[in-house]
Amino acid sequence: MSGGETGFSSVVLDVDSTLCGIEGIDWLASRRDPATGAAITALTDQAMRGEIALDSVYGQRLAAVRPSRRDVEALAAAYLGALAPGAAEAVRALHAGARRVVLVSGGLREAILPVSAHLGIAEADVHAVSVRLTSSGHYDGYDAASPLATATGKRKVVEALALPRRVLAVGDGATDLAIRPAVDGFAAFTGFVRREPVVAAADHVIDSFAQLVELVLS
């Protein structure tokens, strides 16, 4: 950190493989068949490593999965079951320290909202991609206009939030690292997966939410 400054007033948290130990769309794909699961997981990993643009595969991944209302509800339960150790306690500590915590994710908003409610994060502070469902609960597309379905869209979202400075972004993938120019620090989270290109470009490397609390409140 420059200028000897320490601590942060706002935290921008990724969800998949950071707040929760699963990749949501990959998890949904694994419920289809092994071939679909493997193909979608490979695309996700390439995008998170920055080897391909998320823009080019986001719609392709959802088209292969076509999540129903039941799938979205099952994913919400899976997210809750895969919550990072200490995450709930960390969010409580950050809120108690008057820090702003927002979720910025390329995952499905409807599956993430139960997680945010569990953590006491306001619905208005959850930024993710909405899925469209028919009245009978079948897949009917997604919000293709969302910047969060693109490789650099998280930066645009964070810039528009005008969060209290200093701001720390936390995540595991290239789409999280893309936020770096809009914040005061970026922490690569390696508690679930370690992506070396992301780690190499990070200001901080943490593998637990206890470390996150220490970094933010210091």
- Reply yes or no on whether the pLDDT at 200 is more than 60: yes
The pTM of this model reads: 0.93
Query: Is residue 3 predicted with pLDDT exceeding 70?
Result: no
Q: Could you say which DSSP state residue 83 is in?
A: B
- pLDDT digits 0-9 by tens, 140-169: 999 999 999 999 999 999 999 999 999 999
The answer to whether residues 49 and 140 touch, using CB atoms and an 8 Å cutoff, is no
Catalytic, out of 14, 26, 172, 176: 14
Does the annotation count 14 as an active-site position?
A: yes
What number does CATH give the domain 2-217? 3.40.50.1000
pLDDT in tens, 69-128: 999 999 999 999 999 999 999 999 999 999 999 999 999 999 999 999 999 999 999 999
16 part of the active site: yes
Which listed residue (16, 26, 71, 176) is catalytic? 16
- What pLDDT does residue 132 have? 97
CA distances for 172 relative to 4, 34, 177, 189, angstroms: 25, 25, 8, 5
pLDDT at position 2, please?
39
For the chain, what are the domain ranges? 2-217
